[in-house]
Structure 1
Amino acid sequence: MNDPTDSLIPDWLRHPSARKRIAVVHAGPIGLATAMLLARRHDVRLQDARTHWVEQINAGHLPPDEPGLQERLSHHCDGLQATTDLELAVDEADYVFVTTPTRFDKAYGSVDTSALDTMLQEVRLINPGATLVLASNPPVGYNQYRTRLTGETSPPIVLPTPLRPGHVFQDRWHPQRLVIGECSQRAVYLALLLRDCLLRPGVPYVLTHATEAEAVFLFEQKRELLGGTLSQAEVASYANRHGLDLGQILEALAMDVQPELGHVHTPDRMPWAQTVPYRPDHLTPST
């Protein structure tokens, strides 16, 4: 049977030799795992401000300690180059994956996203034509709120990153499915680009709205803590209270509704992720 998305596949995805130019910002575990994955098929520049970190990556020495990483860097990542120069990494990129982390602010009791905000603004100024991908697990509602304040017509596509500490590379390279936080043709292109780089062919993908994608990982964290079971009423109540699409959330979580039990059974769990509230007071609208 033909893939129903075949008609949406652009020419550059139909031909393996058509490599894209991709930038990944911040060489933390998520950024490095993402860059290594994409470098299997494309030319990737990984940017990080830490000189010693960049030198280690270019020398083939990976800071995170996970089994099999060194071999993967040596044999599967010929297209990866690390740099401290943000403009060099981003300027001619077709896609820019921003993995800048957020910080929990104890004084506010919420997540401070100021570093992420600044990086998104800088990247957009350097390369306004690139497809921006937000891959740093922002808090629920972040992308929508930021888009409303900045007035962007092409906001970042949310790529939720449910990666367990200590298993980041394994989870990035072997996901059960891909969740893309935008319902558009360019989101389909992104899903197909990522799927083409995975080690397992035919991984399914789910398109949701941005806030629904962010909300999925609020429940991923709780599901992990509860051992694979979530209250169906709680998920529905949260979605209704915040005006979210419950169907999209359930599909992204691969939930199997069982009304007679009052629970949503989740036999195919995605890895752990963390989502906490944030404070948006540092965001500034565009002029």
Structure 2
Amino acid sequence: MNVSIFGLGYVGLANTLLLAQNEHVKAYDIVKKKIDMLQEKKSPIEDKEIQKFLNRNDLNVDFTPNFIDSVKFSDYLIIATPTDYDEKKNYFNTSTVEEVIEKALAIRPDATFIIKSTVPVGYTEELKEKYGTDNIIFSPEFLREGRALYDNLHPSRIIVGECSERGQEIANMFLENAHDKDVPVLLTHSTEAEAIKLFSNTYLALRVAYFNELDTYAESRSLNSKQIIEGVGLDPRIGSHYNNPSFGYGGYCLPKDTKQLRANYEDVPSNIIGAIVEANTTRKDFIAEQILAKDPKVVGIYRLTMKANSDNFRYSSIQGVMKRLKAKGIEVVVFEPTLKGEEFFKSKVIKDFEEFKNISDVIVSNRFEPELQAVEEKVYTRDIFGRD
């Protein structure tokens, strides 16, 4: 099958390499530098499986800056462009998705689209009506940053928002390229598929917020948070996964998806969804207060990334903590090897780790790394289990 993919971030690039095992893939991105890197087999994002696949010579993939050729080439056009959350409109900014569809339909009116970008509930039906076509299908993506290709090779489930033979064909395409074959496949209506995506990510945010709030209570009462979490997790209905406290949920998906779901609840009675969003703000307030209580003159931020083996710090919770500290007049410095500039949010970026350790009165780290052991007495973290 011929497939074109538009947008080569985590979602698009992971799908490109997944499908290129057995399908013929054209992969397009508006950023020429990214295409150049991929043509040289260099990954623009930190993901070991992606880099491993790029080094292979048996994949059927063409990374191209040619939009028209990509549209004309394929049976299916997969859209994986960014849909950031617009705080003023309380809505995902879906303009990139619509731009691809409009430009593609002008070239090829019979084009069939699979949307992988996260969108509001009801969006696909609106697009079908707007563009007068039934050839728009939503298929949600479930992946972790830094493990994007792995999570496509070993998916938890495959969901396609169309109950039809075509929907089954799309599901089979993803399943046949996965390494795990015993994967649940669910065909739903498009709006239900959109809801599955948002409710899934909001539940994950709820779990993070819950264990963070447990940890806030334990730290406030001088209790052993690890013992409490371990005891709670022994209940098999709760489990011992995804329970390591942090400075708040962050990354590209959870903050925006929870806010979008809250916006979708505008005329629907609810309590929990809004509380999940608010809990993240409360947690960052608490973390900042705990750091301020140590009366530091200079606070060092060790890594802006949310997770180990990641180069992404979009919407990371540590940035919210930084803003709160700076608002109180605290000097904040940053150690982040992936940064190229000399400043980040008007905070000095220190490239030398020894200088960073010496200048910082308190070192704030969402996750504790071995190189911090020498200055462990300076480190403030809520990393209890030593995992993401």
Task: Give the alignment's TM-score, normalised by structure 1.
Answer: 0.71
Matched with 1:23 is 4
Partner deviation per Cα, 1:97-131 (whole Å, 9 max, x = no partner): 01111122232232221221111111222233333
Contact 1:92 1:127 in 2 (8 A): no
For residue 22 of structure 1, report the CA deviation from its aligned partner: 0.9
What's the secondary structure of 1:221's corresponding residue?
helix
1:266 CA drift (Å):
8.8
Indicate yes or no: 2:183 matched with 1:211.
Answer: no
Q: Tell me the SS of whatever aligns to 2:21.
A: coil
Tell me whether 1:189 sits opposite 2:169 in the alignment: yes
Provide the C-alpha distance between the structure 1 equivalents of 2:50 and 2:135, rounded to a whole number of angstroms. 33
Deviations, residues 209-247 of structure 1 (Å, cap 9, x unaligned): 00000001221122212339x9xxxxxxxxxxxxxxxxx
Secondary structure of 2:192's aligned partner: helix
The structure 1 segments of at least 4 consecutive aligned residues displaced by more than 3 Å after TM superposition are none
Counterparts of 1:83-232 in structure 2, within 5 Å, are: 83-152=64-133, 154-227=134-207
Of the three residues 47, 58, 62, the one matched with 2:43 is 62
Q: CA deviation at 1:204?
A: 2.2
Tell me how far apart the structure 2 counterparts of residues 99 and 68 of structure 1 sit (CA, whole Å): 19
The one-letter amino acid of 1:84's match is P
Judged with a 3 Å threshold, the aligned counterparts in structure 2 of structure 1 residues 76 and 188 are, in CA distance, closer, same or farther, namely farther
Please state which structure has a larger fraction of its residues in helix.
Answer: 2
Pairwise CA RMSD of aligned residues? 2.6
In 2 relative to 1, CA 115–190 (structure 1 residues): closer, same or farther, beyond 3 Å?
A: same
Determine which structure has more spread, i.e. the larger CA radius of gyration: 2
Q: Deviations over 1:54-87 (max 9, x none)?
A: 0110110011112233222222752111111111
Is 2:123–2:191's contact at 8 Å kept on the other side of the alignment? yes
Distance in 2 (CA, whole Å) between partners of 1:171 and 1:197 is 12
3-state SS, counterpart of residue 54 of structure 1: helix
Identity %: 27
3-state secondary structure, aligned to 1:46:
strand
Distance 1:164 1:91, change over 3 A: same
The higher-RCO structure (CA 8 Å, 6+ apart) is 1
Secondary structure at the counterpart of residue 180 of structure 2:
coil
Equivalent residue letter for 2:6: V
Alpha-carbon displacement from aligned partner over 1:125-174 (angstroms, at most 9, x marks no partner)? 2233333101111111111122223322x231111012222322221221
Separation in 2, partners of 1:21, 1:163: 24
Structure 2 unmatched ranges of 5 or more: 211-236, 242-252, 265-388
Give the secondary structure class of the aligned counterpart of 1:161: coil
SS at 1:102 equivalent: coil
What is the aligned partner in structure 2 of residue 32 from structure 1?
A: 13
Counterpart Cα distance in 1 of 2:130 and 2:204:
34
Report the 3-state secondary structure (helix = DSSP H, G, I; strand = E; otherwise coil) of the residue aligned with 1:227: helix
Indicate the residue corresponding to 2:312 in structure 1.
none
Maintained 8 Å contact 1:24/1:31: yes
Cα 1:207/1:47, change in 2 over 3 Å: same
Q: 1:218 to 1:68 in 2, by over 3 A?
A: closer
Instruction: Report the residue type matching 1:21 in the other structure.
Output: N
State the one-letter code of the partner of 1:191: A
| Aligned partner letter, 1:167 | R
Q: Report the alpha carbon displacement of residue 49 of structure 1 after superposing the two structures with TM.
A: 1.4
